[in-house]
Chains A and B, each alone.
Chain A
Amino acid sequence: MTRASRPAGATVTASLRRPGLVRRLRGGRWSAPLGIVGAVVVVAWLLVAALSPLLAPRDPLAQDLPRLQAPGSGALFGTDALGRDVFSRVLSGASVTIPLALLLVVLSVVVGAVLGAMSGFFGRWVDELVMRITDLVMAFPTVILAMVVAAALGASLFNAVLAALVVSWPAYARLTRGLVLGLRTSNFVISGQLLGISSWRLLARDIAPNVVGPILVLASLDIGTAVLLLSGLSFLGLGAKPPTAEWGSMVSDAVANFDSWWLGLFPGLAILTVVVAFNFLGDALRDALDPRSVTVRGGGPTL
């Protein structure tokens, strides 16, 4: 492919194939080594999420241990008010929260990007409609709206993901719309239209590759937010139902048993390490792919 025919935005995806990316990631800045640390921790947690039934020493739902024992020889992280092993529950919680958070981000990207692309590409009433809806959603602080939606739908993990999806897709829609608007007037798209290529094919073949990069950056920074949002909803009692071992609801239980400090500390640390790891990784990715970008809405977790 000669340089003349490659559209400008393709440099982002092209850069993913250049050896320079790895070299840049190893460059002198802190975000790169931190990104590697983040990647390692993320992989570790992904393994835990996948293998938790094998890794957990006890059944996370079994209530056969003495209650409210501090961390000691029997239970690494102590036991809770119902005699369950906190360590096993923390491990098991990974297989609840992490896959759901990833699912949430994927769904938000798909819904947001499709709606945003349609909005930017077709314009007129489609654009108006989509933008008014995003305005409406963004008129609420995230957790509040998610809470209202989750309450309306009923407390369950599925509904929590749904509620989180409702508040998360607009950021991607806006980003995609902006990118598509910029690309729509570029020469290679116009020439495609003149050649009679259908709109959908144009979207898929010419526009999509140039939009992938910034969306990837946003998504990688968003996974941490997703984890915080889902565990927050569970903390409020609007997500995981007992006896499911979920980190947020475990912290909620800890509020009731205040002096058993181990009940809340470890699940919270789990959330913290996962989110920090994803954030470091996302930050490094962002620095490598697009160092100048600062996305305001959605670029940093809005709690």
Chain B
Amino acid sequence: MLTSLLLLVGVTLVTFILTNLVPGDPVAASLGQRAAEDPEIVARFRREYGLDKSLVGQYLTYLGNLLHGDLGTSTTTHRAVAADLGGAVPATMEIAISAIVLSVLIGTVFGTFAAHRRGRVSDHVLRVVSLAGLSVPTFWLALVLYYFAYYKLHIAPGSGRLSVDFNVPPKITGLYTVDALLAGQLDTFLDAVAHLFLPVLVLTLYTVGLLTRFIRTAVLEVLDQDYVRAAHAKGLPARTVVWNYVLRGASIPVLTVVGLAFGSLLSGTVLVESVFSWPGIGSYAYEAASHLDLPGVMGVGLVVGTTYLLVNLLVDLLYGVLDPRVRLS
């Protein structure tokens, strides 16, 4: 717990230091050339964004604001970063969570299958395919799939989270699919799912490759264990042995990988969101970075770092649930 808090502080420090390494002048980047030549406007800008204080002073102010939930004001959108991100985070989470759930399900099926048919053709094919899946540049795959599914074959909807003629469902979680279901708007739900389809597919294809290989290895190691042989010796049907004994044993190493894969997914959304004009963290990060929007970039770094930390905490908690030796020591 303490380590996580320290890490969090470290995260803020890192983002702060990094964005202050910026060689360019954020003032000039945001104001445009003419305004930047007016010393009064510049001074006002600097005061407004706290750029006139010392570095340490700026950092302390930042930390103080953080504790109040204030992530500063974006120099590009001129809105509170926290508000901007508040809208963007659910969009990204919608893709990330869908993709990780799908990837785990598919990866488990393929990985277990490959492990049981070790050495045979299907095992080798699966290994090759998952290695190839890991090698695909996600931004390119997004483009290619978008081109074929939307542009050529018209089986997927266009960019964004919803089609033009649909309204955003009343916000409860920020996830359009969940909110639409909760509001009973079935056609909105279906439209949101249709829009989710391609980005989730792209991310899933990559993550499944990653997970299948690791799950296969984890299952193989479990299959060697005495308790699996003992379960067979008890006369339990094969399905029961796989489900209750093998997968249970493999669940712990798999959990570790899933945690890492989620981090990978978060990275992936950055690359994929711009192709689909998906208004999530990724698109926001890209805009902020290219405009040297310091508060914006720091906000993204902080939010993503924190999310990942939370995910790792969740993984640690789940270890306790899955492994009684951890829970009861």
Contacts and interface: CB of A to CB of B under 8 A. Distances in A.
A142 interface: yes
Contacts of A252: 139
Contacts of A132: 10
A232 B304 contact: no
A175 to B, nearest CB: 15
Interface centre among A132, A136, A228, A303 (most CB of B within 10 A): A303
Contacts of A144: 266-267, 270, 285, 300-301, 304-305
Interface residues of A, number: 57
Contacts of B143: 251, 254-255, 264, 268
B319 to A, nearest CB: 15
B136 interface: yes
A252 to B, nearest CB: 8
Interface stretch (A10-18, A52-60, A186-194, A233-241): A233-241
Nearest to A150: B289
Contact of B137 (A29, A236, A258, A271): A271
A142 B269 CA distance: 12
A149 B18 contact: yes
B154 to A, nearest CB: 14
Interface stretch (B21-29, B35-43, B49-57, B238-246): B21-29
A294 interface: yes
Interface string B130-146: 01101111111101100
A296 B140 contact: no
A136 B138 CA distance: 26
Contact of A142 (B131, B267, B305): B267
B23 A154 contact: yes
B45 interface: no
Contacts of B127: 30-31
Contact of B217 (A231, A235, A254, A294): A294
Nearest to A254: B143
A143 B147 contact: no
B219 to A, nearest CB: 12
A147 B289 contact: yes
Interface in A189-238: 224, 228, 231-232, 235-238
A235 B264 contact: no
Interface string A235-266: 11110000000001001101100110100110
A275 interface: yes
Nearest to B263: A141
B260 interface: yes
A80 interface: no
Contacts of B139: 232, 235, 248, 251-252
Contacts of A303: 138, 206, 264, 267-268, 271
Nearest to B270: A143
A302 B301 contact: no
B17 to A, nearest CB: 9
B167 interface: no
A141 B260 CA distance: 9
A283 B132 CA distance: 11
Contact of A275 (B124, B137, B290): B137
A279 interface: yes
A301 interface: yes
Interface in A5-57: 29-31, 34
B117 to A, nearest CB: 13
A148 interface: yes
Interface in B111-137: 124, 127-128, 131-132, 134-137
B81 to A, nearest CB: 14
Contact of A258 (B10, B20, B23, B151): B151
Nearest to A227: B137
A261 B128 contact: no
Contacts of A259: 151
A149 to B, nearest CB: 6
B275 A255 contact: yes
Given A154-B24, A296-B260, A148 B300 contact: yes
A154 B26 CA distance: 12
B206 to A, nearest CB: 6
B59 interface: no
B88 to A, nearest CB: 13
Nearest to A138: B263
Given A238-B290, A276-B131, A283-B131, 18 more contacts: A30-B127, A135-B7, A143-B267, A148-B19, A148-B300, A151-B290, A224-B134, A228-B137, A236-B289, A237-B290, A251-B139, A254-B143, A258-B147, A264-B147, A272-B137, A279-B134, A280-B131, A296-B257
11 contacts: A30-B128, A136-B14, A141-B308, A235-B137, A238-B290, A248-B139, A254-B143, A259-B151, A275-B136, A279-B134, A296-B260
Interface of B: 3, 7, 10-11, 14-15, 18-24, 124, 127-128, 131-132, 134-141, 143-144, 147, 151, 206, 210, 213-214, 217, 256-257, 260, 263-264, 266-268, 270-271, 274-275, 285-286, 288-290, 292, 297, 300-301, 304-305, 308-309
